[in-house]
Amino acid sequence: MDVGAMSPQARWQYALKPASWPKLLVPLVFGACLGAASARGWSGLGLLVACVYTVADGVFIVLLNDWGDQEVDRIKRAMFPDGCSPKTIVDGILSAREVLFGGLVAGGVGLIAAVAGGVVLETPALAVVGAVGLLIFVAYSLPPLRLNYRGGGELLEMVGVGAVLPWVAAHAQTGSMLDGNMLYFIGFSLLSLGSALASGLSDEESDRRGGKQTFATLWGNGPVRRAAELSCGLGPLAWIVVAALQGSWAVQVAVAVAVTVGAAALWRAVAVSGQATTGAFGAQKLYKLHLHRAIWWSAGLLGAGIWGAQAWT
């Protein structure tokens, strides 16, 4: 990559890591569909508020995570100059000041969206939970807590991505704190934990050298892969239980379809799992691709399926 030849637009586009955005957009779609199903209709304004909040939160997370991880990124680039992609700050794509400023502005936009949305939609809890979503990331990567360096980052990601983001999208549709459809967030949280565990695999060696405590540095590659696969298997089982207890036959069919599609992708991840060992970046990338497909496809299908089933019954 010729950094010097990159335009300002290309630099910011690279820094925002568009390939990672499904991790946040899928919870948006998932939560909005479940909320619309409960409300028996869509709130266009509620969807707009949720979209603005999610995009702002995503920019906030991506940029400030790079700002907080400068040292371990520098270590990883030194250890694997040809084995990992260029890092936004370390490789001079953007300055640390630009990244920090952009992240803080995005966080402010997200907070404004949550507060203004709570006022306009007459749902004060939206502002509270929206602020909690931002604070979860502050605790994740920024001083003084910096739990992503102390062994708790994956659990925070499970809560933030698996529950808070879809809850904001659902609440913006329904205005209620909790209803039966939101029980599906339990399964999605388990899937999000699997994603968080797998994400740390490629940084295991550099994180360990940089003193960063993650599940990968504490447990090692093999146990983390097995834990990620177990978590991604338990999530859909939780959906099946919820559907069996409270879902109509149409919802149960939607759950069965989503679980089947997700299981096929998870099976492909398990099939290549043994190759995704420490330092095998190419195999890890393929492994995470299949794992993410298992999560994103099943969650997207489940949200759309439940919305369709409850909209027409």
Where is 247: in which H helix or E strand? none
Q: What is the mean pLDDT of the chain?
A: 93
**The predicted structure's pLDDT at residue 41:** 87
**The predicted structure's pLDDT at residue 1:** 63
Distance of alpha carbon 24 from alpha carbon 54, whole angstroms: 7
Q: For 119-128, what is the mean pLDDT?
A: 93
Distance of alpha carbon 151 from alpha carbon 143, whole angstroms: 14
Q: How much of the chain exceeds pLDDT 70, in percent?
A: 99
Distance of alpha carbon 87 from alpha carbon 74, whole angstroms: 8
Distance of alpha carbon 14 from alpha carbon 94, whole angstroms: 10
Distance of alpha carbon 69 from alpha carbon 90, whole angstroms: 10
63, 78 contact by CB (below 8 A): no
**CA distances in angstroms from 93 to 1, 66, 120, 133, listed in the order given:** 10, 12, 39, 28
- The dihedral region occupied by 179, where left means phi > 0, alpha psi between -120 and 50, and beta the remainder, is beta
**The predicted structure's pLDDT at residue 220:** 95
* pLDDT tens by residue, 211-261: 899 999 999 999 999 999 999 999 999 999 999 998 789 999 999 999 999
**CA distances in angstroms from 121 to 55, 118, 151, 167, 179, listed in the order given:** 19, 5, 38, 15, 18
Report domain 8-311's class.
mainly alpha
Q: 């997200």: which residue's tokens?
A: 110
Residues 6+ apart with CB under 8 A from 238: 184, 186, 187, 190
Local confidence band at 313 (pLDDT 50, 70, 90 cut-offs): low
CA angle 234, 237, 238 (to 5 degrees): 90
Distance of alpha carbon 103 from alpha carbon 221, whole angstroms: 31
**The predicted structure's pLDDT at residue 175:** 87
**The predicted structure's pLDDT at residue 288:** 97
Higher pLDDT, 45 or 176: 45
